[in-house]
Amino acid sequence: MKNFPIPTKEQVSPANQNIFDNLKSMVGFVPNLFAIFGHSDTALSDYLALQNRKTSVRAKEREVINLVVSQVNRCSYCLSAHTQFAKMNGFTDEQILDIRRANISFDPKLDALAKLAKSTVENRGHVRSEELENFFAAGYTEASLIDVVMVIGDKIITNYLHALTDIPVDWPLAPELETATIN
């Protein structure tokens, strides 16, 4: 596999340099996965606009989607980063493992969301009608469905980018799940 260099601030466009500065002030560093977007003059700002768009999906719900999609796609980078964000949103270590398994016993609404997100990714959008019905029965709306698909798309972008570049994970590593526990 090609060694994919992680650009430094000096190696990216002036617009990306400003974004790198903003990321460093917000997160404390420029995460490798965001830095890799810097190879393109526009991809980083485009991605951040998608990620930060107004949405009906609450922060905790977003982390559920991020963790489930990243688990299905086996993205160690995103699992590690979103484990940290999930903790910042109040989830415990055990809850995070349950979320990654899409088997959430502590919150039925989040469970319906996790199951829909998992099935959507595994089945390329062709979920069983029961999963969609459970999602709506849990209190989600048509607008919620659209916003969930947007978050899934956002996460697929970074999952695939990491898979293609295999850049080092610069977050505390998320624990592995046994394959049998996520099926």
What CATH number was assigned to the domain covering residues 59-165?
A: 1.20.1290.10
Q: Is the overall model pTM greater than 0.85, yes or no?
A: yes
For residue 149, what are the CA distances in angstroms to 11, 82, 164? 34, 18, 22
155-166 pLDDT, tens digit each: 999 999 999 999
21-80 pLDDT, tens digit each: 999 999 999 999 999 999 999 999 999 999 999 999 999 999 999 999 999 999 999 999
Give the whole-number percent of the chain exceeding pLDDT 90.
94
CA distance 156 to 124: 11
- Dihedral of the alpha carbons of 95, 168, 149, 103, in degrees to the nearest 10: -20
Region(s) of the chain under CATH 1.20.1290.10: 59-165
- Dihedral of the alpha carbons of 105, 110, 112, 114, in degrees to the nearest 10: -100
